[in-house]
Amino acid sequence: MSHEKLVLLETHSGVATITLNRPERLNSLTVPMHEALRDALDRVAADPELRCVLLTGAGRGFCAGQDLSDPATMGNGEAPDLGHTLETYYNPLVRRLRSLEKPVVCAVNGVAAGAGANLALACDLVLAARSASFIQAFCKIGLAPDCGGSYFLPRLVGSARAMGLAMLGEKLSAEQAADWGLIWRCIDDEQLLPEAKALAANLASGPTRGLALIKQEIHASIDNDLETQLNLERDLQRQAGQTEDHREGVNAFLEKRKPCYRGR
């Protein structure tokens, strides 16, 4: 199978929809899938016309994490160097999503397990279908959370819940995930994609540089003290104030019309 088929990239009205596409294995990740995903994100990053990413999965699952039958990663009988796999594939993926200067919406259409759950949490706004679930499956196979999970989980839901999720590997429903603040919203199954697309289209027509600064500011605040964050706000607002879209937003307000943002 060619790389492109393992990950679909469709573009429409400024939204790049990236679909993990190995439904028969619940979109679990192999080396070629990582490569295809990296290529798709490279294309989105390089194209200023693409102003929002929508990440989802084909079929009944979102992503079941690492493909445990992939000999290239799982050692083919030998003890595998999983650190190498993280360094080469998963860690760059998380860094890429977090540093992309465009909003990334994730539509979790079904089960998200192991690194698949944490891939979703690395996105900026996570919507999940009511029938979807999140499983920190690592403990079931003698591993610890990766793909950023040990960073995201305690920050999103607190240490007690993070520890329970990671040590027990129980299935967390989308509804519970939304109640706990792990994700933005839980949506009825049939409405998930329409709502995620509408949200992504809305973001894609927004002030892209301002949205990228919001992303940077909110992600940075988790680790900063107030003094550092106030200084960051000063620096980023200085940048925001110099964008065309800021001027357009203010002009539109004063002229009592809808703003037309161009992402500049």
Tell me the number of residues near ligand LHQ by CB under 6 A. Answer: 25
* Cβ proximity to ligand LHQ, 13 vs 69, nearer residue: 69
- Per CB under 6 A, the list member of 137, 153, 199, 213 interacting with ligand LHQ is 137
Q: Do the beta carbons of residue 111 and residue 64 sit within 8 Å?
A: yes
57 belongs to the binding site for ligand LHQ (CB under 6 A): no
| Min CB(212)–ligand LHQ separation in Å | 28
Q: Given the rule CB under 6 A, which of 39-47, 110-118, 183-191, 206-214 is the region that contacts ligand LHQ?
A: 110-118
Enumerate residues 6+ apart whose C-beta is below 8 A from 71.
none
CB of 80 to ligand LHQ, least distance (A): 7
Residue 138 binds ligand LHQ (CB under 6 A)? yes
Residue 136 makes contact with ligand LHQ by CB under 6 A:
no
Asked whether position 14 contacts ligand LHQ by CB under 6 A, the answer is no
Sign of the dihedral defined by the CA atoms of residues 183, 63, 42, 12, in that order: negative
Strands (E), 43-139: 52-57, 61-63, 104-108, 111-113, 125-129, 133-135
Interaction between residue 52 and ligand LHQ (CB under 6 A): no
260, 248 Cβ separation under 8 angstroms: yes
Q: Site for ligand LHQ (CB under 6 A): which residue of 44, 113, 123, 182?
A: 113
**Rounded distance between C-alpha atoms, residue 5 and residue 206, angstroms:** 30
DSSP state of 246: H
Q: What share of the chain is helix, strand, coil (3-state, %, to 5)?
A: 55, 15, 30
Residues facing residue 105 across a β-bridge: 54, 125
**Does residue 128 bind ligand LHQ (CB under 6 A)?**
no
Q: Report the interface residues with ligand LHQ, using CB under 6 A.
A: 25-26, 28, 64-69, 73, 82, 85-86, 90, 111, 113-115, 135, 137-138, 140-141, 143, 146
